[in-house]
Amino acid sequence: MKKLINKVDNIVDEMLNGMVDAYPQYVKRLEGFEVLVRAKGASEKVALVSGGGSGHEPSHGGYVGRGMLDGAVAGEVFTSPTPDQVFEAIKAVNGGKGVLLVIKNYTGDVMNFEMAADMAEDEGIKVEKVIVADDVAVENSTWTTGRRGIAGTVFVHKIAGAAAEAGLNLEEVKRVAEKVIANVRSMGMAVNACTVPAAGKVSFELQDDEIEIGIGIHGEPGTHREKISDVNNIADKLLEKIFAEGIYKSGDEVAVMVNGMGGTPLMELFVANKHVKEVLDGKGIKIAKTLVGNYMTSLDMEGFSITLLKLDDELKKFLNAPADTPAFVQF
């Protein structure tokens, strides 16, 4: 295993401190906890908290800032943060208007975030929860009951965060978040698996001429393995599964995300995006916004995912609203 690290046990701690060192204008760390919050502290609006296992950077700490998250909780690599960590984040960001938890649909995340919500409500903090399950690859997995939450979560951060920044109350921010969740779908693939530092080996083996279709973001293998082909053909297979959902049709307006899994060159992501646009153009679906890059990664996995979000006027307004975070800046 080749990794640019010091000690395996210190990775998350050193990463969080390094983020604070790089972006002190955006984030600060809660002392004694794996939690990043806005540098300026809590404000009098609905607050958003998200998080999960580390290894998905820039998710989730990279989205703490104006127009997106108020707090992000980091578990160990691919491991859910504990309820007490989430509880501390809720307390730190609460400005009196309540807190919305954005949870990716993984069993540990759901359980621990819900426990934290109960703890906060016992102290009089109003908490609501939404669960993102945008991955169309599988209905259930060893990690989940129901579909997994993957890159589409970033659209929830952005749009619900903008709604909160605009002054909507907690119930309305939750409604907006749930509208995003209802209209966002994703699917991914891998050319090569990732290496979890504590394991010291790749999470699954691929031959030189093989790819994995339908992967998750924790190094999980996908739905099936096949021979590698050109990226247009691969993108078609991911899009075919997304379109099979039946929620995207001619005349719709969508946001597109071509998300790198951590080890894929931007050159290749842009090539994939070119074909995604060609397919959507051919179906009469208008693209209102495109994001290409590393938004929700899986350590050093080589591959990409495609996410489509169907927009209406409300979602489009909040998607295009200003944001200022370490990993997402929009004016």
Q: Other CB atoms closer than 10 Å to residue 9's CB: what's the count?
A: 10
Active site residue 157: no
Please, which residues have CB within 8 angstroms of residue 188's CB and are 6 or more apart in sequence?
135, 137, 150, 151, 214, 215, 216, 217, 222, 238, 259, 261, 303, 304, 305, 306
Say yes or no to pLDDT of 142 above 70. Answer: no
The predicted structure's pLDDT at residue 145 = 75
Active site residue: 60, 157, 218, 275, which one? 218
Class of domain 12-132: alpha beta
Question: At 134, phi and psi to the nearest 5?
Answer: -90, -10
What's the CA gap between 186 and 271, in Å, rounded? 18
Residue 237's pLDDT band (cuts 50, 70, 90):
very high
The mean predicted confidence, pLDDT, of the chain is 96
**Alpha carbon 94 to its chain's center:** 22
Assign 36 a pLDDT band (cuts: 50, 70, 90). Answer: very high
Domain ranges of the chain: 12-132, 184-323
**Percent residues over pLDDT 70 in the chain:** 99
184-323 CATH fold: Hypothetical Protein Tm841; Chain: A;domain 3 (3.30.1180)
72 strand-pairing partners: 36, 50
The tokens describing 206, both together, are 């691929």
pTM score of the predicted model: 0.97
Q: How far is CA 238 from the centre of its chain?
A: 18
Overall average pLDDT of the 142-151 stretch = 84
User: b/e string for 288-319 if b means 16 or more Cβ within 10 A?
Assistant: ebebbbbbbbbbbbbbbbbbbbbbeeebbebb
Question: pLDDT per residue over 175-213, tens digit each?
Answer: 999 999 999 999 999 999 999 999 999 999 999 999 999
The region that residue 251 occupies, defined by phi over 0 for left and psi between -120 and 50 for alpha, beta otherwise, is left
pLDDT at 27: 98
